[in-house]
Amino acid sequence: MIPMHASVKWLLTVVVVLFGVPLVAQVLPGEEGMLERGGRLPGEVSVEALVDSVARWGRTEREKVIVLAGWFREYMAIDAGKFLTGGPDGDYREVLKERKGICGDFTGLFGELCNRLGIENERVEGYVAEDGRERGETCHRTNHVWNAVRVAGEWWHVDMMWAVGALGRDAAGEWVFRRHWNPEYVLTRGEQFLTTHMPADPAWQLTDRPYAMDAFIEGNLADGERGDYYNYTDSIAAFRRLPRDERQMLFARRANRFNSRNKEVMAVTYYNEAVFLLNYNRKTRAVLIRAREYFRIAEEYARDLPGVKESIDEGLRNVEALIK
């Protein structure tokens, strides 16, 4: 059996420095009470107890999201050490216990809480600008994840990590977390959000005329190219009905079509799917041939990705030896 290598998030960890851009806040002034209620919930709490408390305070899906946001605002912090060194996403229970993490940790915990509260949600993978670097230099791989939630039949973005604060340097020059509430990153969508957060799959732009990747790179969505009419609601619904493996590969194909600079998304996704196929199925000839096809697709996109290519080449050699 070929061992399962690290996930795409571990392979593609990068450092992103956060900064704020004014947006139209979706947590309205009259809803501040819900945020306050969330902040009054205990910090040291189990997943089950937190879900029960949020369900008692929030009657609607929207209210539950806002109560959760209040809890995150009060207790969750960005882990400066992990942010600078990288690392795999933490288990949501451990993240809740430590009450700190980076984007994948925030996204995983918030998604699990939404699942238990009956709120439809998805993990959105995409691009954000990196401090001190041109956007064109940072778009060769995805570098951020956040959540999307379906509230009252409509999809909205939630980036809880950007909502709770940012990292900055202290007097000694060390990176530290600075808590500062940014409600504009909770239950939001539209051009201003997309100025800083560009989903890898254009369906998650949540607009019926998606912006081009070049418009994001140039930092000028208002004057940038946009596509033809696109029913993103139907596209998301069809995507979510697919089996896990088909979803992963469709995401990779869409992401690469949207941003052809990102070869890594195809290479790593098809590599991971080949390994998953071999690890969780009987190695019949049909399974081996299918896995070889996935490895070959991954190999095609990994020509200029030395670290990733080595793992793919090894996997391909192993599966070809089994076929013989």
Cβ proximity of 267 and 302 under 8 Å: yes
Cβ proximity of 226 and 237 under 8 Å: no
Question: CB neighbours (10 Å) of residue 171?
Answer: 6
Report how far apart, in Å, the C-alpha atoms of 76 and of each of 39, 44, 186 are: 11, 11, 15
For residue 307, what are its two tokens? Answer: 């670290």
Of 32, 116, 120, which is closest to residue 70 (Cα–Cα)?
Answer: 32
CA 140/CA 100 separation, integer angstroms: 28
The whole-number pLDDT of residue 150 equals 97
Beta bridge partners of 168: 176
HEC per residue, 53-85? HHHHHCCCHHHHHHHHHHHHHHHCEECHHHHHH
Question: CB neighbours (10 Å) of residue 250?
Answer: 15
Amino acid at 321: A
The whole-number pLDDT of residue 26 equals 77
Q: What are the residue boundaries of the structural domains of the chain, listed by start?
A: 31-201
For residue 94, what are its two tokens? Answer: 């451990």
Q: Return per-residue pLDDT of the chain as tens, 324 residues.
A: 222 233 333 333 333 444 444 444 478 878 899 999 999 999 999 999 999 999 999 999 999 999 999 999 999 999 999 999 989 999 999 999 999 999 999 999 999 999 999 999 999 999 998 877 888 888 999 999 999 999 999 999 999 999 999 999 999 999 999 999 999 999 999 999 999 999 999 999 999 999 999 999 999 999 888 989 999 999 999 999 999 999 999 999 999 999 999 999 999 999 999 999 999 999 999 999 999 999 999 999 999 998 899 999 999 999 999 998
Q: Cα–Cα–Cα angle for 310, 313, 317, nearest 5°?
A: 140
Q: In 165-205, which ranges are continuous DSSP H helix?
A: 191-196
Q: What is the bridge-based pairing of β-strands 175-179 and 198-199?
A: unpaired
CA 18/CA 176 separation, integer angstroms: 12
CA 210/CA 206 separation, integer angstroms: 8
The whole-number pLDDT of residue 15 equals 37
Burial profile 268-303: b = 16 or more Cβ within 10 angstroms, e = fewer: bbbbbbbbbbbeeeeeeeebbebbbebbebbbebbe
Q: Does domain 31-201 have CATH number 3.10.620?
A: yes
